[in-house]
Chain A
């Protein structure tokens, strides 16, 4: 065995921890400068934010050991040198943030609905679930169960949607909007590409009209004008009106996202399906849509996250979602001036949901191998 064939280790400077640092953080002098600057900023910022949010913060009691019931009792208001965030406001108002003004005796129904929502999402999110088929049946009937649970009927006392609020409203709007907009969006996308002129024109008109106006305008339309079009005596619930507006808005955007996916499918796929004698619906359901939706995952998640955050606009029409409850709390004379804590908490909740959606879409993309391998597997 001569020396050339001997296995030589790579230079120390390109492998292991040192190598990773050299390549990623200190590759050249500009790179090193930026790294040092970022480290300095983090060094300045992280201790401060940790101190404010955790170490110096009040959670339920102030530094004198009293239970906090208003902003004057927060440590930082008793002694500006002492104390960070005053999370007691979240502690005291937690019920309102999660359930709104839902009656306390009936709140178990919301809790059951929250748990059921998780169970209903399980087979959709995790395809290897054992007995997935039976779970899916549950998912299909979940909206009906949730309606009776939350709203009342079938032996449950009625709880007017006026009493709903906080995370409950945010989730109802977000989930319903996203879930309903998906099938409607698919139909609109197919309709817009249809060769039948009436269908294609109607779909195009709808999409362009809805996309052409801001969500706030649609919310106002739903809130103010819709009741005027309904016959006298029919009283449409405020939340339902907002749901209609949100769903229409999201459908139009979803339609365009899916149309983008449809356009990426090579004509050969359509022709192959037709040559096998497939009908229009079979072709779309079995051949075209599965591929089109798969490549549309990133923009679908994108618009869904957008909608989830846009639900905060409902405060304009007087519905108190998570953010609305936060602002209502700020208007209570007991809690004036705690805006940092409240907005921090609300953003954290929104971040948890949107970050979860975004991580899940990454997992889905990896699992379905979208991207460059597309068509090869």
Chain B
């Protein structure tokens, strides 16, 4: 399958990579962005049919950077299986589809991950009544686990390293895991932490369930583009970075107009008051200003979609800025 995919990638590459994606997007008049068919907090249609979520905001940010208009984006829904061929064949300009950055996807499939917009990782959820506060206390537990995934291997490694035993209850889908846990057929459910949060939020009484603090794998999720078109890769990369830098500098959608007369040089560079960074990217000079004005900085997007005030209640954790105990770090804007 992987080999087949890379053949598609190469074939598609042969006749689509020469034309610059940025020019294609500009000529077309809107961005085509691949998202999930629905994942709580990341991309899902709201009641009015607009796509909302952390990944949807990423798409909109790029559309704003290119067109200065958050509505100039067409969301193409993709599944776990169809996402890579869709990107490789040029049907979408970029993917923002909670995709884990791995070496084989980055290198072998011919894609380029331009950054990380959410650091996820495999976690555990248990009933609060179980009285467990750490995953190392789970000796002898029955664990609901999706078969054929990397989570299965991570789980085995984790329990072996800690010298404790478990019994696996194999399941196929997230819904199945949820039902089994709620019905008490397993003591623990393990999958990516963001998935656990949405499972917990879907419970009739979320407080009966708790996500344990241990995160046992690295799942950096980020937007990706096709290999070989660095100009376009830069546009997507710096659209994400601009949101992170804006949070670092305390620029928000609320105060961005006031910040235009700030005395901090990096703020002035970011907002296009000084320098010609927009021109370097072949964008207008106020591209980052527009992103912050229309979408907000990273923190605003996070809080609105997945943060503690949403039903998902995902704490910033690793996704906090490097200055605040997380690992979110963008190169300087200069």
Interface residues of A (CB under 8 A from B): 69, 71-72, 76-77, 80, 92-93, 95-96, 100-101, 160, 162, 220, 223-225, 227-228, 232, 238, 315-320, 324-325, 327-334, 336-337, 339
Contact = CB atoms under 8 A, between A and B. Distances in A.
A334 B41 CA distance: 10
29 contacts: A80-B204, A96-B45, A223-B85, A224-B8, A224-B86, A224-B89, A227-B89, A227-B91, A228-B89, A238-B76, A315-B37, A320-B37, A325-B45, A327-B38, A328-B38, A328-B44, A328-B45, A329-B38, A329-B44, A331-B36, A331-B39, A331-B44, A331-B198, A332-B40, A332-B47, A333-B41, A333-B198, A336-B201, A337-B203
Contacts of B91: 227, 238
A318 B79 contact: yes
A332 B82 contact: no
B311 interface: yes
- Give the residue among A72, A315, A331 with the most B Cβ atoms within 10 A: A331
Nearest to B89: A227
**A-B residue pairs, 8 tightest by C-beta:** A331-B38, A337-B202, A328-B38, A331-B44, A318-B77, A336-B202, A224-B85, A332-B44
Interface of B: 8, 11-12, 15, 36-41, 43-47, 49, 52, 74-79, 81-82, 85-86, 89, 91, 175, 198, 201-205, 305, 310-312
A320 B77 contact: yes
Contacts of B311: 71-72, 333-334, 336
Nearest to B39: A331
B81 A332 contact: no
Contacts of A316: 79, 81-82
A162 B36 CA distance: 14
Contacts of B12: 228
B155 to A, nearest CB: 25
A330 B203 contact: no
B116 to A, nearest CB: 22
A324 B79 CA distance: 11
A101 B45 contact: yes
A317 B204 contact: no
A76 B85 CA distance: 43
B77 A333 contact: no
Contacts of A315: 37, 79
Contacts of B40: 331-333, 336
A315 B74 CA distance: 18
- Give the residue among B39, B41, B77, B91 with the most A Cβ atoms within 10 A: B77
Contacts of B8: 224-225, 228
Contacts of A71: 311
Contacts of A77: 204
Contacts of B205: 80
B204 A96 contact: no
B310 to A, nearest CB: 6
Contacts of A329: 38, 44-45
A318 B175 contact: no
- Give the residue among A76, A80, A328 with the most B Cβ atoms within 10 A: A328
A93 B47 contact: yes
A334 B79 contact: no
A106 to B, nearest CB: 13
A162 B201 contact: no
B86 A318 contact: yes
Given A220-B82, A318-B79, 19 more contacts: A96-B45, A96-B47, A223-B85, A224-B86, A224-B89, A227-B89, A315-B37, A316-B79, A318-B78, A319-B77, A320-B37, A328-B38, A328-B45, A331-B37, A331-B39, A332-B45, A334-B47, A336-B198, A336-B311
Nearest to A101: B49
